[in-house]
């Protein structure tokens, strides 16, 4: 019987075998049956091999065992001691693995964004003051626009519940209680319930809020304030901005003739007179606003260059020095109390004794 000897190697790489030797190993025909039977009998009666046979005896059917030989050892390399580092050699290509990882990360990121924390400034609690209704709705609309991808704002039902949670105080408690019951009944009724994603839930709640807390006297209040607004100092831009805001609240068209009259009535007399000294007068509100800005700017430049109004026959340099001297030598305001009057009001001991004796002073 031909015996093929192989030297043990420290490497896990299998040693290449010649095709002839491999063919002999694969041929399982016993060439000397007599010698094989004698060898089996000699080994069977030795106790050492009997003990080994008992220890390696399988405890379960052999079909559960893995193959003892590999179909091919090509491509195998030694692995480290840590089994966690061992990985299968059959993996997806790099682009496919990166794409799958990015897709999973994107899904997680989107989920966090949707259910994450709300951003932006939370509107102040509404207490039922009708003058604050418009500002409250505007603040909530901005907050909704900032968090339009969040589930608390994206789903109309949750948006309604969040909106109702911002209403507090005794003036609105009863209304909030009623609207909560109405909202809950719409989505839980047995016959034809409304879905929580239906935008009609939000539209109905917003209309009900406007009807209940609308400022009915907003236009009248704006008209009264418009007739009283006046320019302060040289703050022409502040005056124009305030006038424009009241004009919008009063629902008055800019093209009306009375609008220009109301605007000029609030201007300072000097600015108004300077505009009337022009060869061509403004004919629109925009024209009056631009002319007022120009005259205020001109008056500021004149004040810087020539100083305050005074003797027109003085030179510019003398006028500046006079203005600075007046500001420096201007007497400071003192207390109006007179010491003699204060002392006269304090009674002495003689007066007190005469008062006790009812003697006329």
225 and 304 housed in the same domain? yes
Q: Residue 32: its pLDDT value, please?
A: 76
Q: Phi and psi for 11 in degrees, rounded to 5?
A: -85, 155
Which of the listed residues 164, 194, 216 is the one where a domain comes to its end? 216
Cα–chain-centroid distance for residue 163? 17
Clarify whether residues 322 and 260 are in a common domain: yes
In a domain, 357, yes or no: no
Count CB atoms within 10 A of the CB of residue 144.
19
| DSSP helix/strand/coil, 359 | coil
Whether 172 and 235 share a structural domain: no
pLDDT tens-digit readout, 281-312: 999 999 999 999 999 999 888 888 877 665 65
Helices (H), 189-308: 200-213, 218-226, 236-249, 257-265, 269-276, 285-306
225 and 205 assigned to the same domain: no
What is the tens place of the pLDDT at every residue in 110-125? 544 444 588 888 999 9
Does residue 37 form part of some domain? no
In terms of domains, do 254 and 283 share one? Answer: yes
Give the angle subtended at the CA of 173 by the CAs of 167 and 176, to the nearest 5°.
65
30 pLDDT more than 80: no
Are 227 and 262 contacting, i.e. CB atoms less than 8 angstroms apart? Answer: yes
- Cα–Cα dist 320/361, whole Å: 61
Provide DSSP, 160-185. HHHHHHTB-SHHHHHHHHHHHHHHHH
- Same domain for 229 and 190, yes or no, is no
Q: Are 140 and 121 in contact (CB under 8 A)?
A: no
Residue ranges making up the domain that contains 286: 219-328
Quick check: is 192 in a domain? yes
Residue 55 pLDDT more than 60? no
Does residue 165 form part of some domain? yes
**pLDDT value of residue 170:** 87
Which domain-ending residue is among 216, 241, 261? Answer: 216
Burial class (CB in 10 A: 0-12, 13-18, 19+), 339: exposed
Domain count for the chain: 2
Residue 352 inside a domain? The answer is no
Evaluate whether residue 300 is within a structural domain.
Answer: yes
- Do 253 and 164 fall within a single domain? no
**Does residue 317 form part of some domain?**
yes
Q: Has residue 35 been placed in a domain?
A: no
pLDDT band at 239 (very low <50, low <70, confident <90, very high): very high
Task: Tell me, yes or no, whether 148 and 243 share the same domain.
Answer: no
């Amino acid at each position: 019987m031909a015996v093929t000897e192989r030297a043990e190697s420290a490497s896990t790489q299998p040693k290449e075998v010649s095709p002839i030797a491999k063919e002999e190993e694969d041929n399982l025909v016993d060439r000397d049956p007599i010698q094989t039977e004698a060898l089996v009998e000699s080994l069977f009666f030795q106790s050492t091999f009997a003990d080994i046979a008992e220890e390696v005896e399988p405890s379960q059917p052999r079909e559960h065992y893995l193959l003892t030989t590999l179909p091919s050892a090509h491509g195998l390399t030694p692995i480290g001691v840590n089994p966690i580092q061992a990985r299968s050699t059959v993996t997806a290509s790099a682009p496919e693995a990166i794409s799958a990882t990015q897709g999973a990360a994107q899904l997680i990121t989107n989920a966090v964004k949707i259910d994450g924390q709300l951003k932006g400034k939370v509107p102040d609690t509404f207490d039922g003051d009708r003058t604050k209704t418009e500002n409250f709705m505007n603040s909530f609309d901005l907050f909704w626009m900032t968090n339009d991808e969040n589930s608390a704002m994206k789903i109309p039902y949750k948006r309604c519940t969040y909106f109702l949670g911002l209403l507090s105080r005794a003036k609105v408690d009863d209304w909030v209680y009623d609207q909560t019951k109405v909202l809950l009944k719409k989505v839980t009724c047995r016959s034809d319930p409304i879905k929580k994603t239906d935008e009609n839930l939000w539209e109905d709640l917003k209309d009900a809020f406007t009807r209940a807390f609308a400022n009915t006297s907003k236009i009248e209040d704006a008209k009264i304030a418009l007739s009283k607004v006046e320019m302060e100092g040289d703050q022409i831009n502040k005056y124009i901005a305030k006038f424009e805001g009241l004009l919008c609240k009063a629902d008055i068209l800019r093209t009306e003739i009375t609008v220009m009259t109301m605007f000029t009535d609030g201007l300072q007399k000097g600015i108004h007179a300077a505009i009337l000294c022009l060869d061509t007068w403004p004919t629109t509100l925009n024209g009056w606003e631009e002319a007022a800005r120009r005259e205020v700017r001109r008056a500021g430049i004149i004040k810087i260059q020539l100083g305050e109004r005074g003797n027109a026959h003085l030179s510019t340099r003398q006028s500046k020095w006079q203005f600075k001297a007046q500001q420096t030598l201007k007497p400071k305001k003192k207390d109006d109390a007179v010491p003699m009057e204060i002392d006269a009001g304090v009674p002495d001991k003689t007066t007190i004794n005469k008062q006790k004796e009812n003697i006329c002073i």
